[in-house]
Structure 1
Amino acid sequence: IGSNLARLFRLNYKYVTLMIGCGAAGAIAGIFNAPIAGIVFTLEVLMLDLTMAFLIPLLISAVTAATLSWFFMGEDVLLHFSNVQPFSSNSIWFYILLGIFTGLLAIYFTRMTMFLEMKFKKIKFWGTRLLAGGLVMGVLVFLFPPLWGEGYREIALIFNDRGHELMNNSWFFQWRDNNYLILLFLAGILIFKVIAMVATTGSGGIGGIFAPTLFMGAMAGYFFSLLINSFGKIELPGDNFALAGMAGMMAAVMHAPLTAIFLTAEITRGYELIIPLIITSTVAYVTIMGFEPYSVYTKRLAQTGDLLTHHKDKTALRMMNVRNLIETDFEVLSPDARLRDLVKAISQSHRNLYPVVDAKGVLLGMVKLADVRTLIFERELYDKIKVKDLMYMPEYFISPDDIMETVVEKFETSGRYNLAVIDKGKYLGFISRAEAFSEYRKTVQDFSHD
């Protein structure tokens, strides 16, 4: 909605991102009754700047959405969490371990999501994709019924100390009293949930990341508590660890620990456990950062070089288009042209570089004014020396498909002030260091202006 409204009113990049952020903040605030989490998500995941010019519209959007949600749907929270057992400092180490566990699980979630999405994209015919997705979902739901749906019902069962009902209507129901088979059942859910998610979305169904992440986090926390309790040395509260697991999983998958903390606390009203939420989220985030520097949202953008971050210099560079910087007011010469033709080109041009191309437009080399300055006054050589005898082939080129960060690196490495732009061997023009820097400063000013 925010993006479409921005396009409708033809807003510039800054206000397009602001409108998208307002839409995201409002959606999260309205759906989850979590206005704070909506604002934090926008700042942390969508990477808007924390300035008053951005913050005020986000606040208005989030509060308006939350108010309308309360007006039409009441003040009930999405997940009721009432069986809070007091946080004990003795359990800190277990929350740290849970953070590591959810961080590692998030690595599996992210990589498996990317892998399976690529597999589904390779299936060209929509009917085949639909059949494959339906077959996978049918088998998984038959074996693990909790994989059906968003998973909020199953999370509520854990929060209400009814986790044993997760095995209802499943093939494993007959072993519901066997603690080890319960752990095996939960492990299967953790393994296959991401497969079920991608099978749904990849085959054309409707789905997203939020609900599966919360579901897997709750299951991970519950599984972890049962696993520790099975040793008989300590009794961990399953509902508390399920709540912390939700925060840890979200922090790791989305690379958004603050969003995870506030969203989990707001949708459950579980503020009494804010310390475990902080511990688990932080540890989970640190764990995944060692393996996956980008979140499931930003990984594809990073691979294509389209990711915009809080670093204004990198953002400005990625907003610049190489093709828009190409300068073409250079005198082009043929390799068989004489020195006389070169002198004429020099007299007509304010440049000190002269590209040499063949009949097909392929760059063969270039002539630098400094290299022929002394020959200009040797009139007897005008018809004896050809341009191909004077040209040289530069070491560095720019492709029109290069990102600006690559262009900057080439300028720094080469030390040149002008670099030729070549597309499959054909000459397109030059990019000058001065023009690139000027455009960069203009982009930064447009992006940063409040």
Structure 2
Amino acid sequence: MGIFTALAALLLKVLIHWIQNFLTENFDTTEANYLYLVYPVVGIFLSGVFVRHIVKDDISHGVTRILYAISRRQGRIKRHNTWTSILASSITIGFGGSVGAEAPIVLTGSAIGSNLGSMFKMEHRTLMLLVGCGAAGAVAGIFKAPIAGLVFTLEVLMIDLTMSSLLPLLISAVTAATVSYITTGTDAMFKFHLDEAFELTRIPYVIMLGIFCGLVSLYFTRAMNSVEGVFGKLQTPYKKLALGGVMLSVLIFLFPPLYGEGYDTIELLLNGTTNEEWYSVMNNSL
């Protein structure tokens, strides 16, 4: 499981970076790039056509779909989810869609585990374990973080597992992270170093940061639900695509760091020390 999910994560990252580099490699970061007004609309349109006319199924909200499959479908996830989320999300993100690759790859990994279990006619508990192994391997493969994959599966998916089931989850996560290290190098996704030792006097600031981040996440969740409610009232799918694409394009044109998954921007924020590096983060933002 770990090998399959790591290769799926690698394919997703390669497709995203290839599309993004192909479209933006000649951009001048010192000037306004008006193609930012075009690319996100094109990406959302292509993804919408792909989902509506080829997939013919809703593949949004990847984690929610996994939870639904676990609670209502005995862990069985449709076969097309092993590849459709990779293709649709790579188009969306590569063309500038300001979303992460986590949910698509988690759905893909869980779908791989579910369909492998169905193929070999595994019992229900074993199939559920394979779904969890797929999710753990997917997170570990995309972030090179096996413990994160294990914790995500236990805390978010909340699969009813015994203590003995933790070992397969950990093996899947470690295997996926190892494959990612072999194929993409040993550098961590977010590299940073501490110049000073941590002091106990900083604990109150850490607590305040945690509270603030929790409030921001709550705001983000409620804002997203509100926007989805507004878009849900639009009857024509192409109206949703047009409105969403135009709004996203304008935001990315005004704030280019919003383009794509944003991991490069986060890394520059963690390590940027010179004015040139900070300017490259802002990329001529207003």
> Is 1:127 matched up with 2:238?
yes
Choose from 143, 148, 170 the match for 2:285.
170
The question of whether the paired residues in 2 share the 8 Å contact of 1:33 and 1:70 is answered with yes
| CA–CA distance in structure 1, aligned partners of residues 202 and 230 of structure 2 | 42
| Partner of residue 155, structure 1 | 266
SS at match of 1:45: helix
Residues 114/15 of structure 1: CA separation in 2 closer, same or farther (3 Å cut): farther
Any conservation in 2 of the 1:22–1:62 contact (CA below 8 Å)? yes
SS in structure 2 of the partner of residue 20 of structure 1:
helix
From 128, 132, 139, the counterpart of 2:250: 139
C-alpha contact 1:83 1:160 (8 A) present in aligned 2: no
Amino acid at match of 1:146: P
1:99 pairs with 2:214: no
TM-score by length of 1: 0.36
Residues 119-161 of structure 1 show CA distances to partners (whole Å, capped at 9, x for unaligned) of 3333333322221111011111122222111111111121113
Letter in 2 for 1:67: T
Greater relative contact order structure (CA < 8 Å, 6+ sep)? 2
Counterpart of 1:98 in structure 2: which amino acid? Answer: L
RMSD: 2.0
Contact 1:83/1:159 (CA < 8 Å) preserved in 2?
no
Work out the CA distance in 2 between the residues paired with 1:161 and 1:53: 44
1:9 aligns with 2:120: yes
Is 1:108 equivalent to 2:223 in the alignment?
no
Alignment partner of 2:140 out of 19, 26, 29 = 29
8 Å Cα contact 1:29-1:38 kept in structure 2 = yes
Q: Distance in 1 between matches of 2:262 and 2:167?
A: 34
Structure with bigger strand share is 1
Q: TM-score, normalised to structure 2's length?
A: 0.55
Higher helix share: 2
Task: Give the conservation status (yes or no) of the 8 Å contact 1:48–1:54.
Answer: no
**Partner Cα distance (1:124, 1:10) in 2:** 41
Return the alpha-carbon distance in structure 2 between the equivalents of residues 125 and 82 of structure 1. Answer: 50
Residue 122 of structure 1 aligns to which amino acid in structure 2? K
State whether structure 2 residue 171 is matched by structure 1 residue 56. Answer: no
**AA matched with 1:77:** A
Unaligned runs of 5+ in 2: 1-111
Q: Distance in 2 between matches of 1:150 and 1:36?
A: 22
Deviations 1:91-116 (CA, angstroms, capped at 9, x unpaired): 22111111111111111011112222
Q: 1:238: which partner in 2?
A: none
Rg larger in 1 or in 2? Answer: 1
CA–CA separation in structure 2 for the residues paired with 1:89 and 1:161 = 26
Q: How many residues align?
A: 171
Helix, strand or coil: the match of 2:157? coil
Pair 1:65 & 2:183 matched? no
On the 8 A contact 2:146/2:174 being kept in 1, the answer is yes
| Structure 1 gaps, min length 5 | 172-450
CA distance in structure 2 between the aligned counterparts of 1:66 and 1:25, rounded to whole angstroms = 10
> For residue 22 of structure 2, what is the aligned residue in structure 1?
none
Amino acid at match of 1:75: T
The one-letter code sitting in structure 2 at the alignment partner of 1:7 is S
Distance, in Å, in 2 between the alignment partners of 1:85 and 1:137 is 40
Q: What percentage of aligned pairs have identical amino acids?
A: 52
Counterpart of 1:113 in structure 2: which amino acid? Answer: M
Aligned to 1:42: 153
Aligned-partner Cα distance in 1 for 2:177–2:249? 37
Q: Deviations over 1:296-333 (max 9, x none)?
A: xxxxxxxxxxxxxxxxxxxxxxxxxxxxxxxxxxxxxx
Residue 414 of structure 1 corresponds to none
